[in-house]
Amino acid sequence: MDAQDKKMATDIAYEIIKEVSRAIRPYIGTPEAGEKVKIGADGTPTSLIDVVSEEIVVHTLKEAPVYSYIVSEEIGELRLGKGTKRAVSLTQELRRDDLSEDEKPRFIFLVDPIDGTSNAIKEIPAFAISIAVASVPDGRVATLNDVELAFISNLANGNFFEAEKGKGCWLNNKEVRPSDVVNFSNLTLGGFTKSGTSQASKLVDNARRMRVMGSVVLELSYVASGKYDAFIDLRGSRIIDIAAAKLILEEAGGIITDKYGEKLNNILSIYEKTIVVAANTKILHKQMIDILNDNQTDVIGKIGIVGRIDQDRSILFSAEIVDYLLTNGIEVQIEKRLAKKIIELKENPKLEEIIRKTKQTYPQMANHLENIDFNIDYEKISRNTFDFDCDMAVILGGDGTLLRAQAKMKPEIPIFGINMGTVGFLTDTEIQDTFIALDEILRGDYYKEKRSRLVVSHENHYYSAINEVVIMTNKPAKMLHFQIKVDGEIIDEVRADGLIVSTPSGSTAYAMSAGGPIMDPKVGGFIIIPICPYKLGARPFVVSDNSEITVKLLKKGKSAVFVMDGQRNEEADYEEEIKFKKSDKDVYFIRTSTKYFYKKVKDKLSEGGLSDSNRCKNE
């Protein structure tokens, strides 16, 4: 958008704001203003005062000398200009390649004609018009990054915010900046929480004061101008509501992201919504993100190490990590079997040759094996895994190694996985990135990802699983007959080779191979999947993780084996029940990126789970 276009868009926005302010004045504080006259394009009831204001917006853009697109709360998505008006789907319209230069719209206007309608109806002085103007991209959908101009006017008192991308933000023609508050004891927090969200309650309880004004656009602007220190909307804000306020806040120097700290770059659409977390500074914003995700980091002072003992490379790399951690002043505990293997390896007369071959076979490790210090009393720092008393456990191996190690440790110890297996879906990092990740963790730049686990009960015995429990026959090529109950209600009786009850973590493992859905680990549910069922109607179930699942074997004379995470096997006989519930003790993983899950899905599941390096070795 060049200077001439910006001037034209600004003039149109000014005209809209002036005319809307004039048109709604007689309705403010009147019962007539709140009369519900229709359902808006976003599916919510529309009041008369909304219709009055939006008609002004549409008329102004329709009569403008250029074509524009508009995305607005009540009328949805239109193409307006030069006396014309036509409904469109913006995402489809932007992909058209058959428009001449004269026919192409110049701008995308995202308009909330009145944010805070209830306030306007009741004459509470906190309601505003919000206008964002985006450039029209060529051949792709438009996103929040395309917004270049923003205008927000408090229609109750005339306060006027505006911003230009890359140029700054102004309130009533004076440049503004956010506050510098970073302590919760001084925090003024605005916004909307969500019932049952304990993390949000903790955030609110720690703030000095909480404000709920009922206008997202104004409250975000108040963070930009220092009146608020932070703002959250855990219900989910519509993109049309926040498009202008986002630019205003960012141009003032504030931070606005989703719940997980990721930048907002949503598609410009009437249907798009996002959770919003906004703050004056990066310091305060990170504290809020950590609280909302239960990710408050602790100082890492003691680390336990578990690794594969069937590979020289894993044993060598474990020794290098021990050396690195001790050098950085970290107290180290190492699994007894691993400690024994390191001692055997350092006493091996062929140690130098083993290191040389390892470096040749695994070049991504070469730099890390140059100067390992073996002059460490490994026996003194060795422990049984179940005796680990540490702030974090480093697991070197694949998912199997990680699951075996976690099953033996105290559940409250968070896990950091280094992939030395084939897939490593649950691990956090690859070999070559290990020490970069460890540096970040020791600086406190990490977060804890909470995942649910299953408690399995059978004949007064209890077991646990992170990924899944598989029930199958102990005789090959024989089927089992299952009765499946959820909270006491029979949901299916099915003959099948087996049955999987999976957590979201296990949805990318055996459950996926058996035809189950991939579940985001943040979803509170379990998956029940028949393995090769003998009826067409048998399909996976996704059930609440607040439910109790009961599986009973129905065929007389047949027993079954149920296997927890591929590690532990137990037997069940005819008419015995196996029950599954969510454990009250979650498992925690140390993560160095908030983009963990979907990135793993893309990277690990595209070619059978093989990374480039592993693929080369397996071909």
Higher pLDDT, 543 or 474: 543
Confidence of residue 618 (pLDDT cuts 50, 70, 90): very low
Across 199-215, average pLDDT: 79
pLDDT above 80 (res 264): yes
- 100-114, 179-193, 246-260, 427-441: which range is least confident on average? 179-193
| Per-residue pLDDT at 607 | 56
Q: Given a cut of 60, is residue 598 above it in pLDDT? A: yes
Please give the C-alpha separations between residue 302 and each of 305, 343, 367, 462, 544, in angstroms, as whole numbers. Answer: 10, 22, 25, 30, 36
Domains defined along the chain, listed by start? 1-296 (3.30.540.10), 302-452 (3.40.50.10330), 454-585 (2.60.200.30)
| Cβ atoms of 116 and 129 closer than 8 Å | no
Cα–Cα distance, 142 to 268 (Å, whole number) = 6
Q: How many CB atoms are closer than 10 A to CB 298?
A: 11
Task: Judge whether 399 counts as a catalytic residue.
Answer: yes
Give the residue, 113 or 613, on which the prediction is more confident: 113
**pLDDT value of residue 615:** 40
Q: What are 569's two structure tokens?
A: 């096997």
Angle CA 503–505–511, to nearest 5: 65
Locate tokens 């004039």: which residue? Answer: 22
Model confidence at 12: pLDDT above 90 = yes
C-alpha–C-alpha distance, residues 118 and 106, integer Å: 33
Kindly tell me if the per-residue pLDDT of 171 is higher than 90. yes
Which whole number is the average pLDDT over 255-275? 90
> Which tokens belong to 256?
């606005």
Give the residue from 299, 261, 562, 582 showing the smallest Cα distance to 451. Answer: 582
Strand, helix or coil at 183?
A: coil
Q: 461-483: buried (b, 16+ CB within 10 Å) or exposed (e) per residue? A: eebbbbbbbbbbbeeeeebbbbb
Which residue out of 233, 241, 399, 428 is catalytically annotated? 399
Other CB atoms within 10 Å distance of the CB of residue 373: 12
3-state DSSP call for residue 24?
helix
The overall longest dimension of the chain from CA atoms, in Å, is 93
Q: Which of 239, 190, 181 is nearest to 213 (CA)?
A: 190
Contact 240, 73 (CB under 8 A): yes
Side chain identity at residue 583, one-letter code:
S
Q: What is the predicted pLDDT for the residue at 613? A: 44
446-488, pLDDT tens digit by residue?
A: 888 889 999 999 999 999 999 999 999 877 778 899 999 999 9
Confidence of residue 227 (pLDDT cuts 50, 70, 90): very high
**Per-residue pLDDT for 22 more than 90?**
yes
Mean pLDDT score of the chain, rounded to an integer? 89
Q: What CA–CA distance (Å, rounded) separates 190 from 286?
A: 17
Cβ atoms of residues 418 and 594 within 8 Å: no
**The tokens of 462 are what?**
């209890």
Q: Confirm whether pTM is higher than 0.75.
A: no
pLDDT at 283 over 80: yes
The answer to whether the CB of 561 falls within 8 A of the CB of 569 is yes
Reduce the DSSP state of residue 577 to 3 states and report it: strand
pLDDT at 232 over 70: yes
Task: Give me the pLDDT at residue 617, please.
Answer: 40
Q: Which helix (H) or strand (E) holds 69?
A: strand 68-72
Picking from 248, 249, 241, 247, the residue whose alpha carbon sits closest to that of residue 269 is 241
Q: What is the pLDDT of residue 295?
A: 64
Q: Considering only residues 608 and 392, tell me which one the structure prediction assigns the higher pLDDT.
A: 392
Distance CA 392, CA 301 (A): 9
Distance CA 599, CA 323 (A): 31
Q: Kindly indicate the confidence band of residue 43, based on its pLDDT and cuts at 50, 70 and 90.
A: low
**Amino acid 201: pLDDT:** 75
User: What is the predicted pLDDT for the residue at 592?
Assistant: 86
Tell me whether strands 230-238 and 255-257 are parallel, antiparallel or unpaired. Answer: unpaired
CA-to-CA dists, residue 615 to 18, 307, 423, 608, angstroms: 64, 22, 10, 9
Identify whether the C-beta of residue 403 lies closer than 8 Å to the C-beta of residue 463. Answer: no
Task: Read off the pLDDT of each residue in 132-140 and give the average, rounded to a whole number.
Answer: 91
The per-residue pLDDT for 41 is: 64
522 band by pLDDT with thresholds 50, 70 and 90: confident
Question: H helices of 253-300, where?
Answer: 282-292
Cβ atoms of residues 146 and 108 within 8 Å: yes
Percent of the residues in the chain that have a pLDDT greater than 90, as a whole number: 61
pLDDT, one tens digit per residue, over 319-339 is: 999 999 999 989 999 999 999
* Residue 603 binned pLDDT confidence (cut-offs 50, 70, 90): confident
For residues 94-128, one letter each, b for 16 or more C-beta atoms within 10 angstroms of the residue's C-beta and e for the rest, the string is beeeeeeeeeebbbbbbbbbbbbbebbbeebebbb
Query: Is the pLDDT at 554 greater than 80, yes or no?
Result: yes
Side-chain half-sphere exposure of 93, counting CA atoms within 13 A = 22
pLDDT of residue 93: 87
